[in-house]
Chains A and B, each alone.
Chain A
Amino acid sequence: MNNLNERGHSRRKWINRIMLGLSGTATAITILILALILGYTLVRGISYVNLNMLTQAAKPMGQTGGGMRNEIFGTLILVLLGSVIALPIGLLSGIFLAEFASPKVAATIRFTADILAGVPSIVVGVFVYAIMVMPMHSYSALSAGVALAIIMVPVVARTAEESLRLVPTSMREAALALGITRWRAVIGVVIPGAMTGIVTGIMLGVARIAGETAPLLFTALGSQFGVQGLSKPIGSLSLMIYHYALSPYPADQQKAWAGAFLLVLLVLVISIVVRWVSNRKHV
């Protein structure tokens, strides 16, 4: 220790301690916030949760009781619809980027995908409204599915591309050296080798669109009735939470919490599974 400069040294030590303490505090704050949000959702939502919630249709606004069966179905259907549209586009784009594109072309397209990923979801909703809802003169599940698909495509494309790139060249060459065509090598060897990453990418995309509300506002519109068909409006858990949250009736607010509980549960489960799967791969 430098005795000549002890006062300066202890001041530095103090600054060190304070700053490091602050950084730990910052982390604690973040974790605390998450705990608060999840905690409140859990506590306020779980008291309402029972079997009725899953099996009954909703009652009119303001009344107690009733379930959210149609909204749950709605979320599932919209996610399915969005995935069915997004997967071919996203996966094939990812394959193109990883296997066939020249470096310059790949960089441009990757850039485009990143831009698409950064478009605010409400802007996507407005776009789909303009190209589908207006000409069709009707809100529809299909247009909502398209909006969700637009949000999901870049997520799937980028994770698929990165997973495919991680497959070692030696595997590709070993496959080609057997005398099989390029496309069979990609489908039979390279894609299976990247499957974990591709699947986690899809799951991340699903978790993302399951919780989306803004793009549904002017495409699906929301509906208290059951699923009426692809060309009719449809409800979803996220839309339901939004409408009930803004309702003045406590009974509705209670249902909003219950719906939030379900939705958060879904998203959390998917996130945990994704994490578990990717950790398993790296071990």
Chain B
Amino acid sequence: MEEKINGMIQTMAKENNQNKACIEHPEDTKGILEVQNLNAWYGKTLAIKNISMSIPSKAIMAIIGPSGCGKSTFIRCLNRMHEVSHGGRVEGCIMLDGKDIYARDADPVVIRRRIGMVFQKPAPFPTMTVFDNVAAGLKLTQFWSRRWELEEVVERSLRQAALWDEVKDKLHQSGASLSGGQQQRLCIARAIAVQPEIILLDEPCSALDPASTLKIEDLMRNLVTQYSIVIVTHNMQQAARVSDMAGFFLADQDRAGILIQYGQTSQLFTNPKDKRTEDYITGRFG
């Protein structure tokens, strides 16, 4: 058995042009994203250390923990946005469909197509209309797009984002003219218009009022039938309400973020195996 695994490791290493081996798990425990030994730096500072976890398919995974423990950094590694930041550097493997997204021959643009992201502060493109915002991912990659195709995609995405009824008469107004909650749903529609497999949400509701927050939480439960979702949140009640699985992050003594434990949300909240998790959940800190 060991020789077989070693042999697999060698082949995979050669295929991926890497020094480290990225191990593909056997099929039955495979999540849609396999994170293996992920480390990320800002310049010389280590931000997250040795994270390994499995992101489940067609489920909502919440990343929780106190602020400053690398949750945002972690999620930005999942779609290779971390390297866009000044001084951002990543080591480790993240396997999508058996291939490492950090392989030398992997194209970040293609990866970000498959793994979409919605940011904390709603960022609609202010110079574009609502329609153009949703269509942006498509219009910016193909110079030609038949009008009716775009209209179909925009309507479908806005419906999925539970925004269609509110903006169907405003499609040609500026994207910035909507309310905060609507803007965030617009960004969600924009992200799903390119049909990703996974949607990452980095504290999407922290800048929103409670009513908008609940709308987005409902929205996520509908989206999860088609997309796998990872959401960073510092709001534990939200994590408990919305997620199927949860991962708890904490900063170690060197201020690098580490993963304490992850698993079924219900189990994590009612019967956390690690004392630190229990302390966080019961509100002793954070």
Among A167-186, those with CB < 8 Å from B are 168, 170-171, 173-181, 184-185
- Residue B84 is within 8 A (CB to CB) of chain A in the complex: yes
Cβ contact within 8 Å between B137 and A193? no
Counting chain A CB atoms within 10 Å of each CB, which of B111, B113, B125 scores highest? B125
Cβ contact within 8 Å between A173 and B127? no
A179 to B198, CA, bound (A): 13
Which of the residues B111, B121, B128, B136 comes within 8 Å of A170, measured between beta carbons? B121
- Residue B54 is within 8 A (CB to CB) of chain A in the complex: no
A270 to B176, CA, bound (A): 29
Cβ contact within 8 Å between B125 and A179? no
Cβ contact within 8 Å between A185 and B125? no
A174 to B123, CA, bound (A): 7
Task: List, in ascending order, chain A residues with CB within 8 A of B119's CB.
Answer: 170, 173-174, 177
Nearest residue, chain B, Cβ from A195: B127
Task: List, in ascending order, chain A residues with CB within 8 A of B81's CB.
Answer: 173, 176-177
A193 to B123, CA, bound (A): 12
A 127-168 binary contact with B (CB < 8 Å = 1; else 0)? 000000000000000000000000000000000000000001
Which of the residues B126, B128, B141, B191 comes within 8 Å of A180, measured between beta carbons? B141
Which of the residues A178, A181, A193 comes within 8 Å of B194, measured between beta carbons? A178
Cβ contact within 8 Å between A178 and B190? yes
- Residue A188 is within 8 A (CB to CB) of chain B in the complex: yes
Among B81-110, those with CB < 8 Å from A are 81, 84, 109-110
Nearest residue, chain B, Cβ from A193: B127
Knowing A170-B119, A170-B121, A173-B119, the reply to whether A193 touches B126 (Cβ < 8 A) is: yes
Nearest residue, chain A, Cβ from B121: A170
A192 to B190, CA, bound (A): 18
A192 to B133, CA, bound (A): 13
Cβ contact within 8 Å between A179 and B113? yes
Which of the residues B117, B127, B128 comes within 8 Å of A177, measured between beta carbons? B117
- Residue B187 is within 8 A (CB to CB) of chain A in the complex: yes
Knowing A170-B121, A179-B109, the reply to whether A184 touches B141 (Cβ < 8 A) is: yes
A52 to chain B, nearest CB (A): 45
- Residue B116 is within 8 A (CB to CB) of chain A in the complex: yes
- The A interface, classified by DSSP as helix, strand, loop or mixed, is helix
Knowing A173-B84, A177-B116, the reply to whether A188 touches B140 (Cβ < 8 A) is: yes
Task: List, in ascending order, chain A residues with CB within 8 A of B255's CB.
Answer: none
- Residue B114 is within 8 A (CB to CB) of chain A in the complex: yes
A168 to B136, CA, bound (A): 18
A185 to B84, CA, bound (A): 13
Interface residues on A, range: 10 to 19
Counting chain B CB atoms within 10 Å of each CB, which of A170, A176, A178, A189 scores highest? A178
Task: List, in ascending order, chain B residues with CB within 8 A of A168's CB.
Answer: 123
Task: List, in ascending order, chain A residues with CB within 8 A of B109's CB.
Answer: 179-181
- Residue B112 is within 8 A (CB to CB) of chain A in the complex: yes
Task: List, in ascending order, chain B residues with CB within 8 A of A195's CB.
Answer: 127
Knowing A177-B117, A179-B110, the reply to whether A170 touches B137 (Cβ < 8 A) is: no
Knowing A170-B121, A192-B127, the reply to whether A177 touches B79 (Cβ < 8 A) is: yes
A195 to B190, CA, bound (A): 23
Cβ contact within 8 Å between B113 and A174? no
Cβ contact within 8 Å between A170 and B123? yes
Cβ contact within 8 Å between B123 and A178? no
Task: List, in ascending order, chain B residues with CB within 8 A of A173's CB.
Answer: 81, 84, 119, 123
A180 to B126, CA, bound (A): 18
Which of the residues B84, B110, B125, B140 comes within 8 Å of A171, measured between beta carbons? B125
A189 to B127, CA, bound (A): 8
Cβ contact within 8 Å between B125 and A178? no
Task: List, in ascending order, chain A residues with CB within 8 A of B187's CB.
Answer: 174
Task: List, in ascending order, chain A residues with CB within 8 A of B190's CB.
Answer: 174, 178
A83 to B141, CA, bound (A): 30
Q: List 27 A-B contacts (CB under 8 A).
A: A170-B121, A171-B123, A171-B125, A171-B126, A173-B81, A174-B125, A174-B187, A177-B79, A177-B81, A177-B116, A177-B117, A177-B119, A177-B191, A178-B112, A178-B140, A178-B194, A179-B194, A179-B196, A180-B109, A180-B141, A184-B140, A184-B141, A188-B136, A188-B139, A189-B136, A193-B125, A195-B127
Known contacts A175-B140, A177-B191; 12 additional CB pairs below 8 A are A173-B84, A174-B125, A174-B190, A178-B112, A178-B113, A179-B116, A179-B196, A181-B141, A185-B140, A188-B139, A192-B128, A193-B125
3 nearest A-B residue pairs (beta carbon): A179-B113, A179-B112, A178-B137
